[in-house]
């Protein structure tokens, strides 16, 4: 089978054109160490749990957050992608910490609904609503509703620590 020497990307470029920073014919080499760890995987979903993914506390230390758990779907098992995909679920009455950080992230509501404070604005997120949080923007996600509020959160794999803000 011939090897495709075109880099795989989600960025569009005109056919035959090379994007800035790329070289023609450059390919990603797999070594024994990355091939053994970085394998393609399918995580089967049932009731907002994914087989092989453990549910963890939102953060390892106590804080101003409440009734929120996290599952890291992509980013904890040797993947070399530049992002992590996590699923968070906030129970009724719960919230994330009120924080800001230099990294950006994307939040996609996939269960129930919730409220999000971003900067000086407040919004209700419903199923499949998508939120982009820009760098250094104060934000907090809350669930004042009766049903669980579940969302995917996509962040850079390399990121700074959040600065917790006063509520």
User: What pLDDT is stored for residue 37 in this prediction?
Assistant: 72
CB distance 109 to 128 below 8 Å = yes
Instruction: Measure the CA–CA gap between 92 and 112, rounded to whole angstroms.
Output: 10
Q: Which of 70, 69, 114, 107 is nearest to 92 (CA)?
A: 114
Tens of pLDDT along 85-112?
A: 999 999 999 999 999 999 999 999 999 9
Tens of pLDDT along 103-137?
A: 999 999 999 999 999 999 999 999 999 999 999 99
The DSSP code for 88 is: E
DSSP string, 100-167: E-SS-EEEEEEES-EEEEETTEEEEE-TT-EEEE-TT--EEEE--SSS-EEEEEEEESS-PPPEE---
From 10, 81, 95, 153, the catalytic residue: 153
Looking at every residue in the chain, the average pLDDT score rounds to 84
**109 assigned to active site:** no
User: What pLDDT is stored for residue 31 in this prediction?
Assistant: 52
Instruction: Report the pLDDT averaged over residues 135-150.
Output: 98
CB distance 157 to 82 below 8 Å = yes
User: What pLDDT is stored for residue 55 in this prediction?
Assistant: 94
User: What pLDDT is stored for residue 61 in this prediction?
Assistant: 77
Percentage of the chain modeled with pLDDT above 70: 78
Is the pLDDT reported for residue 65 higher than 70?
yes
Which two tokens mark 72? 């890291």
Is the pLDDT reported for residue 9 higher than 50?
no
Tens of pLDDT along 14-43?
A: 444 444 444 444 444 455 555 557 889 899
pTM attached to this predicted model:
0.77
Instruction: Report the pLDDT averaged over residues 38-52.
Output: 92
User: What pLDDT is stored for residue 62 in this prediction?
Assistant: 79
State the pairing for strand pair 83-95/149-156.
Answer: antiparallel
User: What pLDDT is stored for residue 167 in this prediction?
Assistant: 53
The DSSP code for 52 is: T
Instruction: Measure the CA–CA gap between 70 and 31, rounded to whole angstroms.
Output: 31
CATH number 2.60.120.10 is the correct assignment for the domain at 45-164: yes
- Residue ranges of alpha helices (H) inside the chain are 32-37
């Amino acid at each position: 089978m011939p090897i495709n020497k075109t880099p795989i990307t989600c960025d569009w470029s005109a056919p035959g054109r090379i994007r800035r920073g790329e070289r023609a014919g450059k390919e990603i080499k797999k070594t024994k160490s990355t091939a053994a760890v970085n394998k393609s995987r399918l995580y089967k979903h049932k009731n907002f749990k994914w087989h092989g993914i453990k549910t963890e506390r939102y953060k390892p230390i106590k804080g101003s957050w409440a009734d929120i758990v996290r599952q890291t779907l992509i980013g904890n098992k040797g993947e070399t992608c530049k992002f992590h995909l996590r699923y968070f679920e906030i129970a009724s009455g719960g919230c994330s910490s009120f924080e800001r950080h230099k990294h950006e992230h994307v939040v996609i509501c996939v269960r129930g609904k919730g409220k999000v404070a971003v900067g000086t604005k407040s919004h209700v997120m419903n199923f499949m609503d998508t939120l982009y949080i820009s760098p250094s923007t104060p934000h907090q996600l809350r669930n004042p509703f009766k049903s669980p509020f579940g969302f995917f959160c996509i962040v850079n794999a390399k990121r700074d620590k959040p600065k917790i803000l006063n509520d």
